Structures are given as structure tokens and as C-alpha cells.
Amino acid sequence: MSASGLLIFISGPSGVGKSTLCRRLAADLPAEFAVSATTRPGKPQDALGKKYLFVTENIFRQMLEAGEFLEYAYKFDNWYGTLRKPVEDGLEAGHTILFEVEVQGAIQIRKMFPVSLGIFVLPPSMDDLKHRLEVRKRDDEATILRRLTEAQQEIRSAQACGIYNLMVVNEDNGIDKTIKTIKRTIKTFRRDEQNRLF
């Protein structure tokens, strides 16, 4: 698949601060968010971050059969799939596209776009992640425990799959430092790509 723009995918457990990081990066780079369809209901904070198209399972299946997704995954009892067309159009126009996806989706993206940049965001510790999930008050106790178990699995999968160029710890009150590290990685990646091409 030919692409002239830059494709960046960002993953990390729930509560690690991914959405805020992605919003900041999208504004700073600048980059476009890849749009996803999902069967999960909308949440108030969706207005701020990555763009979702909220659909029924039936519609999701129809879209899947019509080849409208670049990749898709089942996560937290819901389906998620990245819309193919806006990504292909954006890359062809030379834009930077930012994907916020879980690890299985990221693996599919890397297969399709071998020249892409993968970033995995880690919490400072599991205790810290638990605390962050508790203070944001979005989930009950059982859901928080489930998210923590999933987080451990996701971190293990991310370390094992070897597709991430950067695994960065997002420290408490450390978002500026995290952004700086990510931007430095993007700069190096772009420079290496240019050197490879010329």
C-alpha cells in the first residue's frame, strides 16, 4: 500500500492519559485523528477526543462485510473499527494520521503500513493506574478491577509483539515531558525515513 503521509498509532491501557496525549499531539503536530466506528454508546468526553461513529452491531457487521474497515477489534464487550477511506485519503494528501487503537488493532495496522510509528503509553505503576481509574469516577469497582487485569495483559502483549517504536511512561503531572519524548521520537523517525529514501 503506498502512502506519502505519516501514520502514528498510539496504544495504552485505559486511564493512562492516552486521550489527552492524542489531543495535544493532534493540535501540536498537527495531525488528523483516524475515525472509528464503534458499537459502544457515546460518552460526554467523546466530544473532546478521537472521532467515533456510533453504530449498531448490525450496521457494524454490514460495514465490515463491505470492507469499510482498515482493521477492527472486540474490546470491553464492544466492536471498534477504523474507517478505511479517511485514512487512505489523508495519507495520500500527505497528512499525519493519528490512530488511537488497542494492541490487536495496532498489530494489524503495522502489517498494512510497515512504515508507521507505534507508541505505547505506560502508567508509572499499576497502583497509580488504579488510583487514576478511581478518581476519574467513570467505572464501578468491578469494572476498575477488570480494566486493571486487561491493562496488565495489554502491557504484556505490547512488550511481546515488538511493534512499538517507543514505550513511554506518562508520569503524574508529566504530560509535557511525555509529549516532548513523543515529539523527539517522531522527529527521529521522520529523519531516518528521509535518509532511507534519499
- Three-state SS at 183: helix
Sequence-distant (≥ 6) Cβ neighbours of residue 32 within 8 angstroms = 26, 86, 90, 95, 96, 97, 98
State the Cα–Cα distance between residues 192 and 127, nearest whole angstrom. 37
Q: Which is nearer to ligand 5GP, 122 or 195 (CB)?
A: 122
How many residues interact with ligand 5GP (rule CB under 6 A)? 14
Residues between 95 and 114 that touch ligand 5GP (CB under 6 A): 100-102, 105
Least CB distance to ligand 5GP at residue 53 (A)? 10
State the Cα–Cα distance between residues 62 and 82, nearest whole angstrom. 14
| Binding-residue pattern over the window 33 to 72 for ligand 5GP, x denoting contact by CB under 6 A | ---x---x------------------------------x-
> Residue 174's beta-bridge partner residues?
none
Q: Which is nearer to ligand 5GP, 24 or 40 (CB)?
A: 40
Amino acid at 21: L
User: Which parts of this chain interact with ligand 5GP (CB under 6 A)?
Assistant: 14, 36, 40, 71, 73, 75-76, 80-82, 100-102, 105
